[in-house]
A and B are shown apart, each in its own frame.
Chain A
Amino acid sequence: MFAPNTKILVVDDMMTMRKIVMKNLKEMGFSVITEAADGNLAWKELAAANPAFDLVISDWNMPNCSGLELLKKVRADAKISKTPFIMLTAEAEQHQVKEAVMAGVTNYMIKPFTPEGMKEKLEATHKKLSAQK
């Protein structure tokens, strides 16, 4: 599993969903959590972060800059291109999942989700990343 000091960026335009995700992360023991209300604000956080974020959990549908656009920007930036990126979305249609995979998403989580479901998804993501090393 990711270490408790993993630096996590949570991106969602809905405050409620940011609160739910951060509450779940805190209950899992994570303490270094930053939030952003859309892709543009998230990009500013990512560009300014030192040390860099270890994980991004982002909504898909957001105004200004969507989660997919944010993912593409991250993957195109040599400094942070390897940052694990979990897409959090209510869009469960197959072509959308394919689009996110093509853009380089590390994993995706379908809303609604339980705290246990979120923990399993983080564990699966960590396992996947460990296997790639």
Chain B
Amino acid sequence: MDLSIIPKTIAASIEDTFQTMSGSKASILEISSEWENSQAYAIDIMSVLGLSSAALSGSISLGFPKQTYLPLIEKILGEKHESINRENADACAEILNIIYASARAKINPHGFDFQPAIPTTLIAKALDISLNEGCKSMKIKCASDCGDFFVILALKRNGQK
């Protein structure tokens, strides 16, 4: 089972989803397992989706600073938003949902069976992220016309402590 296909496919799905939904080009700056202090990224909204399959479990998270998120949803919805709130937070969940679902359709034929899942969205100020040491975690740092944002992928083989 070649796990390297997972971050590569998710990265391609991020680029495609952003380009199609917002007309805003997104590019992958870095895929890294190094994890510095996440507070440096000042994540203000984050959607998290639990990953489950027969062999692997984990999560995928999509996080934005406010200064990236507000111009992005303006591009997607065609309306200006002054703050992150309940009214516009589900855009983050929907983007993550589409990134995951389109990646899943390409990953599963390679011997995986990732299941559909429903995202949860957190709104906070400078959200800190603590990763489980038992997981293999990858940070996918992305740039877009609207600003930088992050995808965090955490995976663990089932049965592994």
Contacts and interface: CB of A to CB of B under 8 A. Distances in A.
B98 A112 contact: yes
Contacts, number: 53
Nearest to B77: A19
B76 interface: yes
Interface in B93-132: 93-94, 97-98, 100-102, 104-105, 108, 116, 118
Interface of A is mostly: loop
Contact of A113 (B20, B23, B91): B20
A110 B101 CA distance: 10
Interface residues of B, number: 25
B80 to A, nearest CB: 13
Interface residues of A, number: 20
Contact of A20 (B77, B102, B108): B77
Contacts of B90: 14-16
Contacts of B97: 14, 61, 90
Interface of B: 16-17, 20-21, 23, 73, 76-78, 87-88, 90-91, 93-94, 97-98, 100-102, 104-105, 108, 116, 118
9 contacts: A14-B97, A16-B73, A16-B90, A16-B94, A23-B77, A90-B102, A91-B116, A111-B101, A112-B98
